[in-house]
Structures are given as C-alpha cells and as structure tokens.
Amino acid sequence: MQKITPFLWFDGKAEEAMAFYTSIFPDSKTIDIRRSGDAGPGSKGAVMATTFQLCGQEFIALNGGPHFSFTPAISFFVSCETQDEVDALWDRLLEGGKAQRCGWLTDKFGLSWQIVPKILGELLQDEDAAKSSRVMRAMMGMVKLDIAELQRAAEQG
C-alpha cells in the first residue's frame, strides 16, 4: 500500500464513482469492495467503501452519507501528453458534470479535475516573459485547454 492515499467521501455513490473512474483511466482497476455486515453501518450488503487504482494510484471511496461534499479546493491534476488525451479525458469526466475555466471541470459526483496538457507548464515557464504572458492570457480565456491555441499564443509576437 502506498503511504498517502486519497480518501473520497461519497453519499451512497462510492461504487458508481469507482466504476466510472476506472472505466476512464488506463492502468485502473477495482482492488476491494467492503460491504456492511449484520452490525452495519447501513443495511447488510450495502457498499461501505471501495479501494481502486487509477493510473496505478490507489484511492479509497467511502459511502459516508450527506454530511460532506467536494469543493474545488481539492482537485485532481491530470497531465496529458496530447490533445487527443485532453479531449478524451475531458469528454468522459464531463459526462453529467460541469465545465469550468482553465481546464477545470467538476464531474457528476462533484469532484474537481484539472485536465492539463503537459506542454502548458513548459510554455508558462518560458524564459521569454512576453511569450509566457501570452500563453497565460490564452489559457485564462479557455474552458477546455487547446494545445494548438496555446502554441499559437506562444508564437505570436
């Protein structure tokens, strides 16, 4: 087991969320589903918690009830190599969710994701301050990030 594992609190949708996420990311799998016994909590046989992997990273999801919900203060940053990867992850995670600005989205469970092309960090760290500034302005005007548009912004001048 890894030393630090994200622990996600759901209101009865831990198993559904796990199935959704593992269907999207490569190198993902269900590790364990724990169900309530005779003593509870919840009804006997109900999913209490799940453990799963996304891209080799382990997560735990708990059906903890309606007491807490996700906020954008915590998000998962996904580094993408290509526009096809950005598009595929964006489209799948956005199903039933809501698009935000600058490559952020909130999925149908309320969890926030940042779907970011790897090249964005390189462009923003360019030694040419004017170039990185143009890239930042372009990114700030986007919802889903577009590699070609970011590169065009970098090359304008």
The full set of domain ranges for the chain reads: 1-68, 70-157
Pick one of 3.40.50.300, 3.40.50.510, 3.10.180.10, 3.40.190.10 as the CATH number of 70-157.
3.10.180.10
CATH numeric code, 1-68: 3.10.180.10
What are the angstrom distances between the C-alpha of 32 and each of 18, 19, 51, 124, 149?
A: 11, 12, 5, 40, 42
pLDDT at 1 over 80: no
Other CB atoms within 10 A of residue 59 CB: 20
**pLDDT tens figures, 61-116:** 999 999 999 999 999 999 999 999 999 999 999 999 999 999 999 999 999 999 99
CB-side exposure of 22: number of CA atoms within 13 Å? 20
Digit-coded pLDDT (tens) for 125-156: 999 999 999 999 999 999 999 999 999 999 99
Look at residue 157 in the predicted model and tell me its pLDDT: 65
- Which tops the pLDDT comparison, 96 or 36? 96
With beta carbons less than 8 A apart as the criterion, state whether 47 and 15 touch. yes
Q: Which residues pair with 50 in a beta bridge?
A: 33, 61
